[in-house]
Structure 1
Amino acid sequence: MRARALFVATILTGSFLLFLVQPLVARLALPQLGGAPAVWNSAMLVYQALLLAGYAYAHAIARLALKRQAIIHLIVLVIAGLTLPIGLADLAPPASQGLEALWVPLLFALTIGPVFFAVSAQAPLMQRWYAANPEAGDPYWLYAASNLGSFAGLLAYPLFLEPNLPLGSQSWAWSAGYVLLIALVAAAAWTRRGAPVESDAALSDENAEPIGWRRIVLWLALSAVPSGLMLSTTTHLTTDIVAMPLLWVIPLGLYLLSFVFAFNERSALGYTLARVAPVVVLLAGGMAMVSQNAASLSIGLATVLMLFVLATALHRRLYFERPSPRRLTLFYLAMSAGGALGGVFTALVAPLLFDWVWEHPVLVLAAAALLPDRPLVAWMDRLGLTGRQKRIMVATLLAAAAGIAMLVNRWVMLQDDTLVLLGMLAAAACGVLVLGHRRAMVAVLFVLMLGRGGYQTLETSVEGSRDRSYFGVYTVRDLPEEGRRSLISGTTLHGLQFTEPDKRREPTTYYGRDSGVGAALSQLPAIAGPGARVGVVGLGVGTVACYRKPGQRWDFFEIDRTVLSYSRDETFTFVSDCAPDADIHLGDARIVLDRFRERMRPEDRFDALVIDAFSSDAIPLHLVTDEAFDIYRRTLADDGLLLIHISNRFIDLSPMMAAVAQRHGMIGVLRSHQDPPFADGISPSLWVVMARDPKPLAALLSARPDLAWHRLPPPAQEVWTDDFASILPFIQWQNVLGRGP
């Protein structure tokens, strides 16, 4: 009994450390690499590759006698531990742009590679060692404990470690956990010191059951689809549903929890979820192609529920396809390879192939095809239908589902939510009735996807008005009857321009003339003189360019080539009309601006610096830390204005702005343009204006006495730094939960 508890503790500790170290290393690298999604994709790719390597190593040494396995693994753990405490590797940045795709994974691998590799191997090895005792029984249930530890580690970082410890202390805390893990592994090996020789032989690959390639392919598919679906669910939610803070934790956490219920043969919940999975995928999966006007918490909840149910059902099928303990390490090696394949497809391949998150409906359909093929109730057999009669009935139900889906599409266009819901239920009922006929059920799911928003999503792709990069999905929408063109990024209006010649230079959305940035840039000639220099972090569609006055020098800093292309090809003409000679610098704003600062002469410093790099409701944390504001302050003239756009549905950044201003000896005011009526094309906005010298700020306020300016709220207790930051205290939970005004 004690040995059983020891093996559980060892596996829990190792998995906990694995999922604790991933966000820790990403936070370490954030200031140097920037907040580009490509960086996170590279990080995930490295983690999955290291996990695969760790499982391959476990599979390789599992052929040896248990005593020799223990000695080798303990040596590997100790050698890897010599790289602790965790610190970012000293790797020089690439000499030329374009090599980051190779440099970023190498940096992560050098930083965390040795210990991640060593820890990742302990889960399959511990199960192998556990089974060395003939009385221990089936070891696969320990994998459920492993994923419970992973889930705990995933939640522990944003909820406990990050809000309470600086990065240096986090690294030392993780190192202490690693030492504990070595002790637990040694103790687990010691409990098996007296294992009979025949148990080693029983676990060897000699005379083990044959494993054909078809079975390995099935293992790969049952692992790859849930892994890819977890990532695609996160992308779909943040792109087209709602960009909530910490949202990435939910799909990953549910994915890990699915193993807990799937790898437990006696789990009533696991059995129930596997049985109802086809019904859930028909109901929730029917919304997998929704892309327009989809900012709905209910759709988001249905999407994550579907992920959990499908992952549990597929992982449960994977569990029942498991081999004997003799082939345990091969099984986990195939699982790891499948997980890596799903991640590579979703995180790296799909953004290059698709203009939208098409990987999500593709993976939902693949998941439906892999579900156990059996009816909920064998109603056709009870009715005594023959083979031909069954085929006719299935064809009839398919035709009915297709007809209902066409009606659902019409009701979607009419925005009749009640009829849409009833239609989806009717089509899903057709799908439930054809369960046991796999292809027919998948076909019903597909037509339901098309009816519930899929036609519109396909139409946008066919028109070629949508683009995708590693930074987001952008849709250009022309409304000629309203005389305007807009750029939509996920669920957020990214920019808008009037197409009529006499109005196309008029600032719109968050940059109207009564907004904080509009008021400041309009008065800049009077405040800083006719030759003012302006820097703008975040190009968007270039709206603020039309505040440029003759004689001013402007610089834009933009991370996404796709966004830049909309101005260069004159899809939006703000820049070409108003600031054609502006310099545009491509790259992460903090990194590029810091290099730009090093080359600046005192007279070249900005008279106004606009920080507007937020995407939807996501917070680029590295752009609002103390170190980032130190860069901004050093690029700003002594009497310059710093303007920060902090509009956000879920996070109140104003206390942090007050704290940063206080830290850097600046004073600030808040311009909240929230109350209607708004002018045509104007959106609510929240801007903070800061200055070290009170004179330009006083000049701005006196020049626009018609506007309501507010003092900043009491400052946050601590300023965010590269070493210590957490958004949890600033989340407006009433808005996250849909209870806001």
Structure 2
Amino acid sequence: TDIASAPFLWIVPLTLYLATFIIAFSRSGERIMPVSRELTAYALCFVVLAFMIAHFSTTMIPLMLIHLAAFFLCALYCHSRLAAWKPAPAHLTQYFLLISFGGVLGGILNALVAPQLFTVPLEYPLVLSLVAFLLWHDAAHKPAIFTKFNMMDDRKKPQKLLALDLATIAVGLGGFVFVACSDNGMTRIIGAIGVLIYLIIMAPNRRVFAISCAASLLLFSPAVFKYEQSILDMQRNYFGVLKVAQQDKAHIFFHGTTIHGAQWFDGNNADKPVPTTYYSPGGPASDVFKNLSRHKGEQYVAALGMGVGSIACYSAPSRHFDFYEIDREVVKVAENTEYFTYLSGCGSPYSVILGDARNKIAQAQANRYDLIFVDTFSSDNIPVHMMTREAIALYLQKLKPEGVIAINISNRYLDLRPVIQAIANDLSIPV
């Protein structure tokens, strides 16, 4: 969710999903199931590792490959089990109808139910945890190589091994909690390797593995593991997870994994807040407004994307701000004076236009704005339709002849400067 809201990003997982369905229902599906079952267990181990090192990783490609491989193996294993239940020809209609219904139900749970049920995106680790317990259910089927490790084989002497299993789980979970609570980066990295080794060793004992793996998946999920600040408010909707956290004397607004605004409350600037982050005095946004202040008369500024309303503090006589924001909850956060006071404390007259910014600004009067400030991000994700040639051409129509378009192009994964430069060259706009 941190790259771009473009449909092509779904091609790879969708292709893998369909491929596993084809493989599972092929003539080779029955032979593949035992292999996929064993590989799935170890894939889950590496997903835990990916969760734990995600915060320290400087590149996303290895982590993406781990998740895609785990997704492929988990889907192949589940589809293989589904194929193994295929009934006689007389009942195939009901069988495939139920499969289709399951797909619809899964889509409803992901798109509609989960955002209402969970304040953080726990669906992924929860489903992986269910796969781990499904492996436990299949514990009677093991490759021969593991049978010599009798102490790990949960098929033998289950009552005598119960105490050992509980002790092993307790030690493992204790280690997990210690690693999660550590503030030292090296401790976490070493701990991640230790957790990986522990889970691999426990893999033959499906009972211990299922409980330990599920606990570690949920504990180390980025949805939980990365939220370390004092949380003042957290909510989730269709557009993602919104969080207001307190760190020292600052309130910080997160959308997904990205900071979308902050304000210091040190006792000196609560009534007259000073913009921070991208909009701090002396930064690029400050330079844009200094240039705008040279123009006299009534001024209108369009902010595509509201954040916490920081730019409202670049107020001036006869300057009005129009905030275009698609997410109603973002507006509520920005206007809540317990969290941020930019809108209430800077005295700038403003209006909020709810809806997709590109569609809504298309309805604005031509040549209305002296400045159009484009900062429409969902987490670190770029709504691609806001930065196309057609979108920039639309903004030009709403801009006064001497107006300026300012675009926030900061991004952790994509270099947007060449894109904007190419569009500007094509439209003959000076940059």
Over residues 147-206 of structure 1, what are the superposed CA-to-partner deviations in whole Å (9 max), with x where a residue is unaligned?
A: xxxxxxxxxxxxxxxxxxxxxxxxxxxxxxxxxxxxxxxxxxxxxxxxxxxxxxxxxxxx
Of 514, 523, 535, the residue aligned with 2:291 is 523
The 8 Å contact of residues 239 and 327 in structure 2, kept in 1 or not, is answered as: yes
Residue 306 of structure 2 aligns with which residue?
A: 539
Pick closer, same or farther for the CA change 1:399–1:307 going to 2, 3 Å: same
Residues 448/621 of structure 1: CA separation in 2 closer, same or farther (3 Å cut): closer
For 1:628-658, what per-residue CA distance to the aligned partner results, in whole angstroms no more than 9, with x for missing partners?
2343222211221122222234434444434
**Matching residue of 1:736:** none
* Structure 2 residue 17 is matched with structure 1 residue 249: no
The alignment yields a C-alpha RMSD, in angstroms, of 3.2
Shift of 1:553: 1.5
Is residue 173–residue 212 contact of structure 2 (8 Å, CA) maintained in 1? yes
Q: Aligned equivalents of 1:382 and 1:573: distance in 2? A: 59
Q: Does 1:310 align with 2:92?
A: no
TM-superposed deviation, 1:453: 5.6
Change over 3 Å in CA distance of 1:538–1:503 after alignment to 2: same
Q: Which residue does the alignment assign to 1:366?
A: 130
Q: Distance in 1 between matches of 2:293 and 2:83?
A: 70
- For these two proteins, the number of residue pairs brought into alignment is 418
Whether 1:555 aligns to 2:322 is yes
SS in 2 for 1:609: strand
Structure 1 residues 493 and 432: alpha-carbon distance in aligned structure 2, compared to 1, 3 A threshold: same
Deviation per CA, 1:582-635, whole angstroms, max 9, x where unpaired? 1111111111112233xx6x6xx1111111113344332222234323432222
Q: Percent identity?
A: 28
Matches within 5 A, 1:618-697: 618-664=381-427, 666-669=428-431
Contact 1:489/1:616 (CA < 8 Å) preserved in 2? yes
- Structure with the largest fraction of helix: 1
1:497 partnered with 2:287: no
* Paired position in structure 2 for 1:399: 170
In structure 2, C-alpha distance between the alignment counterparts of 1:537 and 1:543, rounded to whole Å: 13
CA distance in 1, matches of 2:15, 2:313: 45
Structure 1 SS opposite 2:411:
coil
8 Å contact 2:309–2:342 — kept in the other structure? yes
Q: Conserved in 1, the CA contact under 8 Å of 2:5 and 2:383? A: no
- Aligned counterpart in structure 2 of residue 329 of structure 1, from 84, 89, 93: 93
Matches within 5 A, 1:326-725: 326-371=90-135, 372-374=138-140, 375-376=142-143, 377-378=146-147, 379-380=149-150, 386-411=157-182, 414-429=185-200, 431-435=202-206, 437=207, 440-449=208-217, 451-452=219-220, 457=225, 463=231, 465-480=233-248, 483-503=249-269, 505-526=273-294, 528-570=295-337, 571-597=339-365, 605-664=368-427, 666-669=428-431
> 1:49-198 alignment to 2 at 5 Å?
none
Q: Which residue of 2 aligns with 1:50?
A: none
CA positional deviation for 1:468: 1.3
Task: State how far apart, in whole Å, the 2-side matches of 1:646 and 1:458 are.
Answer: 25
How far did residue 661 of structure 1 move? 3.3
Higher relative contact order (CA closer than 8 Å, sequence separation 6+): 2
Contact (CA 8 Å) 2:251, 2:263: kept in 1 or not?
A: yes
* 1:356 shift after superposition: 0.6
Paired residue secondary structure (2:14)? helix
What CA distance in whole angstroms lies between the structure 1 residues aligned with 2:230 and 2:247?
18
Task: Work out the CA distance in 1 between the residues paired with 2:222 and 2:395.
Answer: 44
Give runs of aligned pairs for residues 256-335 of structure 1, distance below 5 A: 256-266=18-28, 271-285=34-48, 297=60, 298-335=62-99
Contact 2:20/2:75 (<8 A) preserved: yes
Give, in angstroms, the shift of residue 426 of structure 1: 4.0
What is the letter of the counterpart of residue 169 of structure 2? Answer: L
Whose strand proportion is higher, 1 or 2? Answer: 2
Distance 1:455 1:668, change over 3 A: closer
Matches of 2:413 and 2:185, distance apart in 1: 30
Q: Given the two structures, how large is their TM-score scaled by the length of structure 2?
A: 0.85
Contact residue 235 and residue 242 of structure 2 kept, 8 A: yes
Q: Structure 1, unaligned stretches of length 5 or more?
A: 1-237, 670-741
Moved over 6 A (4+): 242-245, 289-295, 381-384, 458-462
- The answer (yes or no) to whether the contact 1:401–1:430 under 8 Å persists in 2 is no
Contact 2:231–2:243 (Cα < 8 Å) also in 1: no
Sort the Cα spacing of 1:363 and 1:495 in 2 relative to 1 into closer, same or farther, 3 A: same
Unmatched segments (≥5 aa) in structure 2: none
Q: Determine which structure has more spread, i.e. the larger CA radius of gyration.
A: 1
Whole-angstrom CA distance in 1 between matches of 2:419 and 2:178: 50
- Measured in 2, the distance between the counterparts of 1:333 and 1:624 equals 42
1:461/1:552 Cα in 2 relative to 1: closer, same or farther (>3 Å)? Answer: closer
Query: Separation in 1 of the partners of 2:381 and 2:222?
Result: 26
Query: Any idea what the Cα deviations from partners look like across 1:200-221, whole Å, max 9, x if unmatched?
Result: xxxxxxxxxxxxxxxxxxxxxx
TM-score normalized by structure 1?
0.51
Amino acid at match of 1:489: H
